[in-house]
Every structure is written in structure tokens, then in C-alpha cells.
Amino acid sequence: NMAVDFGGVKMKNPINTASGTFGYGWQFSELMDVSQLGAITTKGCAAEPWPGNPAPRMAEVRGGMMNSVGLQNPGVAAFAAQSGPWLDELSQKGTQVICQVAGHSTEEYVSALEMFCELCPWAAGFEINVSCPNIAAGGIACGSTPEGAGDVMRACRKVTDKPLFVKMAPVRIPEIARALEAEGADGLSVINSIPGMAIDVHTRRSKLSKPTGGLSGPLCHPIAVRMVWEAANAVDIPINGVGGVMTGEDAAEFILAGATCVSVGMANLVDPTASVRILAELEAWAESQGVNDINELIGALEC
Ligand code: ORO
């Protein structure tokens, strides 16, 4: 058995896609059978459209990549109209759809979540992004303290009884995780990209259109594993491990560290079919461990 329960979202397997690396799902549908995945998480949407940051907003670095997209999105209404029918169908095939919620303030998160609840009844749950490193207000600015993150969670909890997850910044994991659990979060996605910089020394300019960006990819993986382990030890709600998963063994590390499920992020940009390969590799690993149920391996780290 590969099925897991992520905070009330029943997934047929633990593999899902990290927000922002898999569009709205349908963009990948000609390249792979998306319905093999346990879940997908859609790119963050706000109540109103956001233009995002100017190009260049992606740069390769050793062992990973940087981005400064700035949560470009068409707003929840356009998202629901354009992508809703395909996502509804996907959810009927048993792949859960988690919609990511963006905002610049608690009020904006609440407005966006209210719109999602009304316009996206097919969504299995929502992921509140309080960790984007590329926006001036909201994002990591409110997600880096227990008070800031807790505030957003408390307000969002009043909007819906559907599963609510929080995409966490790579800071103060145990304290912030406990604050989010206390405010009613159903699960935590650990971690978002790590704030970083990449400079072109010849032009003396940032490789991105702004000085800083978010670092993701395999070089983040050991940091993310440590943070997943910290989160899993701090709270009783389930953890989704996110950060540099390129192989089934990387996903297995997250599960042993205490993650219930695992997001594939940057790997989708290297090979659009990476997530289904990683799922097959994870299944092979579980079998090699001689268990009939992947749940037996969650947090099974021996130390
Ligand atoms: N980039 C990230 O690395 N994480 C986010 O949550 C959002 C963005 C972005 O849109 O810039």
C-alpha cells in the first residue's frame, strides 16, 4: 500500500508536485499521465491578478537554481475559469488537487481563500504560502515569525473546514510549526526556497532582475531533510517534505525523517516526467524495505 492521509487529504501515493514547478497541471498533461500522482499543488493565486517580477527571474547555479518569479498569477477567478474544469476531472481520477493561496497581508490571504472556496469546490485542500522570498509584503515577511504565520493561519481557519496546509519558510521551524498547529493547520509543507543571491561578476549585476531570489534544487535537500525532521518532532500534524527531491531515495529520506508525503519541485523543470519516475523509485525502495505499507516507514529513522 502506497496510500497516505495528508491531514485529511487521502492520497493514493505520497508523491505530489511542489507549487510553482508544475503550473496548473494541464501544462504537463501531454508529456505524462498526471493522474498517476498522489496530488498536485497549483501555483499560488491571489484574489486579484499579480504581474510578478520582470525577467530574468530564473538562473542556474551549481547544484540548483534561483528564482524570483514574484508569484505572477491571473487571480483566483481567472484561474478557476481557465483551469478548473481540467483540475476537476483530475480530482475525479483520484489525484488530489491542493490550491496554493497567496496574499500580501492577512486580509488578502482571507479574500483569496474565500474565492477559492467558492470557485474551486473540486479542491481537496489549500496551501497557504507564507514563505515566498520574492514579494515585498506577505510571503516570507509574515511567515518568519510564530506570530506572523500564526496570524494568517488563525484568520484562514475561520474561512473553511477543508484541509489547510502552510508552506513554511526555512526558518525557526519548531516554533513556527507549533504556532501553526495551535492555530488549526492540518499539515505543513517544509520547506520553500532558501533566500539567496547569484551575481554575474562580469556585469556586476544580479543574475536575476532583483538582487535576491529563492534557491531550490538538490543542494537544498539535506537542509530540507533536517527541517522536516525538526517539524515532525515538533508537531503531531503531518509534514509534506519539499526540497531538492531528484530520486526516489531522496523522497525516501524525507519519509524516514518523518514526512507523510513528498513534493517534487525543481526536478519537474529538468525532466517534466521526473515525478512519475520518482514515484516508481519510491515504490521500489518501499518494497526493498520489506514492508507492505509505506506508512510503516514514516519517521522510521533509526538513530
Ligand atoms: N518562488 C519561490 O521560490 N517560492 C514561492 O513561494 C514563490 C516564488 C515566486 O513566485 O517567486
The cell numbers describing 166, all together, are: 502552510
Domain span holding position 289? 4-52+71-195+215-297
pLDDT mean by block of 10 residues, the chain; 303 residues: 98 98 97 98 98 98 98 98 98 98 98 98 98 96 97 98 98 98 99 98 98 98 98 99 98 99 98 98 98 97 93
Is 132 touching ligand 1 by the criterion CB < 6 Å? Answer: yes
Question: Facing residues of 10 across strands?
Answer: 5
Q: Which of 43, 132, 189, 266 to mutate to test the pocket of ligand 1 (most atoms within 8 A of CB)?
A: 132
Residue bearing the CA closest to ligand 1, atom 5:
132
71 within 8 A of 136, measured Cβ to Cβ: no
Q: pLDDT value at position 303?
A: 85
Residue bearing the CA closest to ligand 1, atom 10:
71
CA-to-CA distance for 40 and 276, rounded, in angstroms? 12
- Any domain includes 112: yes
Phi, psi of 293, deg, nearest 5: -140, 120
- Any domain includes 31: yes
- Any domain includes 29: yes
Ligand 1 centroid to Cα of residue 294, in Å, is 30
- Any domain includes 60: no
* Atom number in ligand 1 closest to CA 53: 11
Domain count, the chain: 1
Residues 6+ apart with CB under 8 A from 41: 16, 17, 18, 19, 22, 98, 99, 100, 127, 189, 263
CA-to-CA distance for 221 and 209, rounded, in angstroms? 26
Alpha carbon distances (Å) from 64 to 133, 231, 287? 16, 24, 30
- Any domain includes 66: no
- Any domain includes 59: no
Say if the ipTM goes beyond 0.85.
yes
Residue with cell 475561520: 158
Give the CATH number, domain containing residue 122. 3.20.20.70
- Any domain includes 201: no
- Any domain includes 191: yes
